[in-house]
Chain A
Amino acid sequence: MSRLLEHDYIGLAEKPSMEISEKSSHLNLNLKETELRLGLPGSESPERKPTNLISLFGKDLRNTNALKNLVAGSKRGFSDDAVVDFEGKINNTHKASQSAKPKQDKKPEISETNDHVSPPSSKEQVVGWPPIRSFRRNTMACSLIKNKDDDEEEERKPSEASGFLYVKVSMDGAPYLRKVDLRMYTNYMQLSSALEQMFTCFTIGECNSGGFPGKDGLSESSLRDLLHVSVHVVTYEDKDGDWMLVGDVPWEMFTESCRRLRIMKGSEAIGLAPRAMEKKGWSHNNNCRRIK
């Protein structure tokens, strides 16, 4: 199999764009390194440098599109730790093949990272993975709850599951809605961190007042400062059509009555608080949920 040569198939390369040619040369370098040779499946070419695989995901990309990829990384549900985990795996895979290292080296590292990354009971979820249709996810979630009921031997009326447990989430200023499956979480903390993951990118965009960060990017510390400045509050519309602050009621009651979520700016939510207080005797300090 020949390696990828620069054929100008339909004259697309004629535009002398700085960025594109820069990127091309960057890619050319990597392509050469990942050039495929004929070999038995499972064998590794000794000259192949594992670091190039990492550079595509890790540092090089981060330098050229510093902020964007930082955002992109978190948007895609990959915490920094998860990326490290992936890199760790790749490193060890190559080591294993090249020097026939025993497998034990891999396990402690991975399990350590896993413990660090995810809480014991649930995995950090990547959006849309594993690829299970919403209908099936909702149905299974109902079954899971029903089984829990059986275990606890509680008299629970069968949930009036409307067949779908996804609720729409809108965020003020974000260009599009998302959907979250409330039954995938068991408490407010999990929901909060999922929402944070989903919508962090919008917060950053807002911080920059619609403009884009330059190539220099923002340093991580100044970024964190900006995130703290812009405070958002999560609210929900309940069965009666009223907008409430998330966190007022026990989790199970919340999932049963929540019809949609809205993440609004802290300043706008101030008007909400008195109504919520009237309705449920809300306590300010404990129950207000914010995302950074």
Chain B
Amino acid sequence: MPRIAYAFPDEVLEHVFSFIHSDQDRNAISLVCKSWYEIERWCRRSIFVGNCYAVSPVMVVKRFPKLRSISLKGKPHFADFNLVPEDWGGYACPWIEAMASAYPWLEEIRLKRMVLTDESLELISKSFKNFQVLVLSSCEGFSTDGLAAIAANCRNLRELDLRESEVEDLSGHWLSQFPDSFTSLVSLNISCLGSEVSTCALERLLAGCPNLQSLRLNRAVPLEKLVNLLGRSPNLVELGTGAYTSEMQPDVFSDLSRAFVGCKQLKSLSGFWDAMPYYLPAVYPISSRLTSLNLSYATTESPYLVKLVSECRNLQRLWVMDYIEDSGLEALAVSCKDLRELRVFPSDPFGLEPNVALTERGLVSVSEGCPELQSVLYFCRQMSNAALVTIARNRPNMTRFRLCIIEPRKPDYLTLQPLDAGFGAIVEHCKNLRRLSLSGLLTDRVFEYIGSYGKKLEMLSVAFAGDSDLGLHYVLSGCDNLRKLEVRDCPFGDKALLANAAKLETMRSLWMSSCNVSFGACKLLGQKMPRLNVEVIIDERGPPDSMPESCLVEKLYIYRTVAGPRMDMPGFVWRMEGDSALRVS
């Protein structure tokens, strides 16, 4: 058999590889043979590290010497809900430092759920001459001083996106640090910032950047100022308003409407904090252009929301609060036949009684009326198996389904049965389901269904569900493509975990909190599986050596890694290894 691989010079192979961008394909290429591995690693330009502790910065730099773009994720997803203690980890600093010396031509950094300091931001701004994209998603640890450094030094910055990060807001003056000669901005998202930014500085910035396509303002930008800003950015495709409220003034209304119309490419709207019904119709003239509408901060009553949404016939994505109610969702189902993604957020999640008329019926209507619906996030207070079965049968093309019934362990409100059958129907009919979040009263049976049918499932979130270890066992043994599993307050324990230990190496991570996993099982797992980091978070102060084997572990985070134990564990995190817990300090 001729050695075809050697027939091509490296440059030719490299050229061929340059057309291949997906990480999975690139990884596959690198496994073909040693020479392909070598060629590929020298020409890889972009990597995605789903767990920053799965690999070390040194290893990445060594393998891929010519990266231009890096994406990193840090804390477990449940950190979003306050389940991961402060100072757990996810520090970006070692990565930034390693890259600062290795990649002078780095262009893009995307971080999610990581801790980043002002020093790191300054280092970024000074180390990479052609730095273009900074996306900080749900990050924290930095202040507007760090942003000032970015603004002042990154001459070629195209994207600055701070989505939902926790920024210490010292002042709004950082925005003025963009030099007058700055022209390259394409996307700016400052919606998470609390304090006022100078509108003059914003206007100046926008005037200088003709290519600006995406602008997401923060709540502090008043509605009157929005008109001027829109006037200076006629090429906007995405706009996030500030507070969408003001005294009712007809000239402001008409100016606003005209400004919307003037942005001829505008397709996506968000913001709408405290949206006043009076000003919502200003959007009507462009409603048929809109494909994405985020009204999830609009605390407006149903009729006004419904009217707006019904006008947007080409809507593909809608995020809205439950003020829209079942009737609004029915109207949505009639008007928006191209809807692909729906998210409905709760307006009063901690109240005891429902405050709006939003039930399972709304979701059923949308599932019936919108043939393209693929992605759902839905908070509600009641659900039935019948409704879930209907939804499943209507929408077998569903790929992401996250249902949150607000009261934990709530059964089918019609039959008082567990919702096993309903969720079972979802996994059975939706054969391409990749992400699923469960809620309501659920027994081990639902996990049996998930294990049997959820063959494409990649991420599963479970809370207050199941009866025994069987539940966990079904999922770990049945879901072939499972990458991330996060569990809280379920009676899953040692047996299922230990029996499926090998599975854990095929996954990115497993989070279990308030379950029935014992300390002894964690130690055993850590001992037998050296390529996993088995980290327990404990409440007691001393080392867990004195903890009895049967003592239950409060929080457990297991992830595969080639980097060994992490060096930055705080005092309450212990890595299980051998007969005693190990910490490398």
Q: Which residues of A contact B (CB under 8 A)?
A: 1, 3-4, 7, 9-13, 15, 17, 19-20, 22-24, 27, 30-31, 34, 36, 41-42, 53, 56-57, 61, 64-65, 68-69, 72, 75-76, 86, 89, 92-93, 96-97, 103, 106, 114, 118, 120, 122-123, 125-136, 139-140, 143, 146-147, 160-164, 166, 168, 173-179, 184, 201-202, 205, 210-212, 215
> Contact at A133–B164, with CB atoms within 8 Å?
yes
Kindly state the separation between the CA atoms of A175 and B573 in the bound complex, as whole angstroms.
9
Kindly state the separation between the CA atoms of A208 and B116 in the bound complex, as whole angstroms.
38
> Contact at A184–B350, with CB atoms within 8 Å?
yes
Chain B residue at minimum C-beta to C-beta distance from A168: B86
Chain B residues lying within 8 Å of A164, measured Cβ to Cβ, are 166, 194
> Contact at B493–A131, with CB atoms within 8 Å?
no
Chain B residues lying within 8 Å of A20, measured Cβ to Cβ, are 494, 518, 520-521, 524, 549
Kindly state the separation between the CA atoms of A3 and B499 in the bound complex, as whole angstroms.
14
The answer, among A31, A128, A131, for a CB contact under 8 Å with B468, is A31
> Contact at A162–B169, with CB atoms within 8 Å?
yes
The answer, among A1, A168, A184, for a CB contact under 8 Å with B448, is A1
Chain B residues lying within 8 Å of A15, measured Cβ to Cβ, are 524
> Contact at B194–A163, with CB atoms within 8 Å?
yes
Kindly state the separation between the CA atoms of A112 and B222 in the bound complex, as whole angstroms.
48
Nearest chain A CB to B451 CB, angstrom units: 8
Size category, B interface = 35 or more
Stretch at the interface among B32-40, B180-188, B540-548: B540-548
Q: Could you pull out 8 A-B pairs where Cβ atoms are within 8 angstroms?
A: A17-B520, A30-B468, A42-B417, A56-B516, A57-B491, A69-B552, A128-B488, A161-B194
Interface centre among A30, A36, A76, A178 (most CB of B within 10 A): A36
Chain B residues lying within 8 Å of A173, measured Cβ to Cβ, are 541
Tell me if B24 is interfacial: C-beta within 8 Å of chain A: no
Nearest chain A CB to B274 CB, angstrom units: 6
The answer, among A68, A125, A166, for a CB contact under 8 Å with B551, is A68
The answer, among A126, A134, A174, A210, for a CB contact under 8 Å with B408, is A126
> Contact at A27–B495, with CB atoms within 8 Å?
yes
> Contact at A96–B469, with CB atoms within 8 Å?
no
> Contact at B349–A132, with CB atoms within 8 Å?
yes
Nearest chain A CB to B473 CB, angstrom units: 6
Stretch at the interface among B64-72, B74-82, B253-261, B368-376: B74-82
> Contact at A132–B85, with CB atoms within 8 Å?
no
Nearest chain A CB to B570 CB, angstrom units: 7
> Contact at B495–A205, with CB atoms within 8 Å?
no
Q: With contacts A4-B473, A10-B501 known, is A177 near B539, CB below 8 A?
A: no
Q: With contacts A41-B421, A129-B81, A146-B274 known, is A201 near B539, CB below 8 A?
A: yes
Q: With contacts A17-B520, A56-B491, A130-B349 known, is A72 near B81, CB below 8 A?
A: no
Chain A residues lying within 8 Å of B538, measured Cβ to Cβ, are 175
Kindly state the separation between the CA atoms of A134 and B473 in the bound complex, as whole angstroms.
32
> Contact at B350–A133, with CB atoms within 8 Å?
no
The answer, among B219, B500, B552, for a CB contact under 8 Å with A65, is B552
What are the 3 tightest A-B residue pairs by CB atom distance, in nearest-first order?
A41-B421, A128-B81, A163-B194
The answer, among A68, A134, A176, for a CB contact under 8 Å with B571, is A176
Tell me if B420 is interfacial: C-beta within 8 Å of chain A: yes
> Contact at A118–B352, with CB atoms within 8 Å?
yes
Nearest chain A CB to B261 CB, angstrom units: 29
> Contact at B385–A41, with CB atoms within 8 Å?
yes
Kindly state the separation between the CA atoms of A92 and B441 in the bound complex, as whole angstroms.
13
> Contact at A42–B421, with CB atoms within 8 Å?
yes
> Contact at A123–B468, with CB atoms within 8 Å?
no
> Contact at B424–A211, with CB atoms within 8 Å?
no
Chain A residues lying within 8 Å of B498, measured Cβ to Cβ, are 12-13
> Contact at A127–B83, with CB atoms within 8 Å?
yes
Interface centre among A3, A164, A175, A212 (most CB of B within 10 A): A175
Tell me if B550 is interfacial: C-beta within 8 Å of chain A: yes
